């Protein structure tokens, strides 16, 4: 009489495979999260640069800086109205970037603009979820340099932004 070995995997073999998969996941997931944060921060720096450039173009057109980032974009997602750009909707930025808020971030960051005087402006960007969507805070002024604050913290005003280190490549 011959005995045949049952086909399939034993419980020990399955547990070893699951353990190997868990070890690989424990190594890969933190690297994936760091890569996502880095990508969000790069996008935020580029978005802030676009907003600063748009505010400079706005100042060129209207002899004052925009009172908000929303004023730099179109009034709706459908684009600029047939009547053309206005002071309240200059159509310089795309709608998604012009409408970023805490509740509606772009690539994990939201942006806000403060115009202290007709000669200065101050724009800042912060992660929507600190530590998860980003670590650094960014700001920019009329000198067209994007600066960062690491770790993200409130940037008090125009002069506090000027005192920060610029992003490499400025």
60-89: pLDDT as tens digits: 999 999 989 999 999 999 999 899 999 999
What pTM did the predictor assign?
Answer: 0.82
Count of domains in the chain? 1
112-117 average pLDDT score: 82
Evaluate whether residue 52 is within a structural domain.
yes
Which range marks the domain in which residue 50 is found? Answer: 11-166
pLDDT above 70 for 2? no
Evaluate whether residue 116 is within a structural domain.
yes
Higher pLDDT, 169 or 47: 47
Higher pLDDT, 85 or 3: 85
pLDDT, position 37: 95
Evaluate whether residue 40 is within a structural domain.
yes
pLDDT, position 169: 58
Query: How confident is residue 39, by pLDDT bands cut at 50, 70 and 90?
Result: very high
17-32 average pLDDT score: 92
22-32 average pLDDT score: 91
Evaluate whether residue 5 is within a structural domain.
no
Query: Alpha-carbon distance 127 to 18, whole Å?
Result: 35
Query: How confident is residue 96, by pLDDT bands cut at 50, 70 and 90?
Result: very high
Query: What average pLDDT does the structure give for the chain?
Result: 90
Evaluate whether residue 108 is within a structural domain.
yes
Evaluate whether residue 68 is within a structural domain.
yes
Instruction: Look up residue 117 and give its two tokens.
Output: 């005087």
Query: Alpha-carbon distance 4 to 140, whole Å?
Result: 75
Evaluate whether residue 1 is within a structural domain.
no
Contacts 24+ apart (CB under 8 A), 72-81: 72/98, 73/97, 73/98, 73/99, 74/98
Evaluate whether residue 4 is within a structural domain.
no
């Amino acid at each position: 009489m011959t005995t045949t070995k049952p086909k399939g995997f034993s419980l020990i073999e399955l547990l070893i495979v699951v353990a190997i998969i868990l070890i690989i996941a424990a190594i890969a997931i933190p690297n994936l999260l760091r890569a996502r944060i880095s990508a969000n921060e790069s996008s935020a720096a580029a978005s802030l640069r676009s907003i600063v450039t748009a505010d400079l173009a706005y100042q060129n057109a209207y002899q004052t800086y925009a009172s908000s980032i929303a004023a730099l974009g179109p009034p709706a997602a459908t684009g600029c109205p047939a009547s053309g750009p206005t002071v309240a909707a200059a159509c310089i930025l795309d709608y998604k970037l012009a409408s970023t808020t805490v509740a509606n971030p772009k690539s994990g960051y939201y942006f806000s603009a403060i115009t202290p005087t007709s000669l200065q402006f101050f724009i800042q960007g912060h992660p929507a979820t600190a530590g998860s969507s980003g670590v650094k805070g960014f700001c920019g002024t009329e000198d067209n340099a994007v600066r960062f604050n690491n770790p993200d913290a409130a940037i008090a005003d125009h002069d506090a932004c000027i005192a920060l280190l610029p992003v490499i490549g400025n």
